[in-house]
Amino acid sequence: MIIIRQIDEMRRAVRREKGQGRTVGLVPTMGYLHEGHLSLVRLARREADVAVVSLFVNPIQFGPKEDLKSYPRDFERDAARLRIEQVDYLFAPADKEMYPGEHRTFVEVRGLQDRLCGRTRPGHFQGVCTVVMKLFQAIEPDCAVFGRKDAQQALILQRMVADLNIPVRMIVAPIIREPDGLAMSSRNTYLDPAERKAALVLSRSLAEARAAVDAGNRDAAEIVAAMRAAIESEPLARVDYIEAVDPADLAPVAELREGTIVALAVFIGRTRLIDNMLI
Ligand code: AMP
């Protein structure tokens, strides 16, 4: 695996690969890799000849009171994991390489960026879209793989690619969970043992919602209310949002149908966790 820190070097390497007829797949990450990330890497390796993983904790997608400073980092461990997965290139630029001076240009996907997580995290998706656009410019991948764990992010990025005619094939991969159901996340490392247990309310409430849907209930308000009750019964949990939304515009729906996304964000202590399911 070749580790690259400079944008121009990354672009040259990819152009060389493409010149030899190989396709390139990109997996953008913020590191502290877990099995969820690695599932995307494996998918990229299946979908393209050359796998590039980017590792960059993007400062502009964090709010002023968020966890940029404390975000977990372990470069050597991440690199070792990616070597085992036979990743070809690890692109790990410094902050100064990505944002060398005052940055004035941003990509936003209006409307979609303000829903769900966008309400609690204003500016977050603008930061995500801008960095992914920059990664696409630096790497010029044929395809890019994102996780459905961040369902809103995936939908917003797909919309950005469509609206701006970006020649990247977008692939969205399923959520990888711990054996007990908790969706894997780098932020799970913030949880102490009691919080780790309490965090199960997210996946449990989704499983109960799934069971209600399977039993024929399509009433979004009823299903969301039952999820809220389940989560509020957990003393360490505080609901940020629970919503059933249309994937096209992320607007709340009254009735669940195929394609509806049931998404939630919950604070467990001071850690904000998200999860979702696709009907
Ligand atoms: P992050 O490092 O948190 O920015 O995540 C990088 C990519 O991994 C994003 O596309 C996420 O959606 C994806 N991802 C994170 N956790 C999971 C998971 N548990 N299952 C599947 N994909 C995930």
Q: Is the CB of 25 under 6 A from ligand 1?
A: no
The domains found in the chain, sorted by start residue, are: 2-173 (3.40.50.620), 191-272 (3.30.1300.10)
Q: Is the CB of 183 under 6 A from ligand 1?
A: yes
The pLDDT of residue 173: 98
The pLDDT of residue 274: 98
Query: Which atom of ligand 1 is closest in space to residue 185's alpha carbon?
Result: 16
The pLDDT of residue 29: 98
Burial 162-187 (b: 16+ CB within 10 A, else e): eeeebebebbbbebbebeeebbbbbb
Ranges under pLDDT 50 in the chain? none
Ligand 1: distance of its center to the CA of 173 in Å? 9
Closest CA to 47 of 136, 200, 169: 169
Is the whole model's pTM more than 0.85, yes or no?
yes
The pLDDT of residue 20: 98
Positions marked active-site: 37
CA torsion, ordered 237, 240, 245, 248, to nearest 10 deg: -130
Q: Using one digit for the tens of pLDDT, what is the confidence trace for 53-79?
A: 999 999 999 999 999 999 999 999 999
Q: Are the beta carbons of 41 and 85 closer than 8 angstroms?
A: yes
Cα 76 to Cα 56: distance, rounded to the nearest angstrom: 14
Residue among 148, 149, 272 whose CB has most ligand 1 atoms within 8 A, to mutate: 149
Q: Using one digit for the tens of pLDDT, what is the confidence trace for 211-245?
A: 999 999 999 999 999 999 999 999 999 999 999 99
Closest CA to 46 of 98, 94, 86, 18: 86
Q: What is the identity of the amino acid at 188? A: N
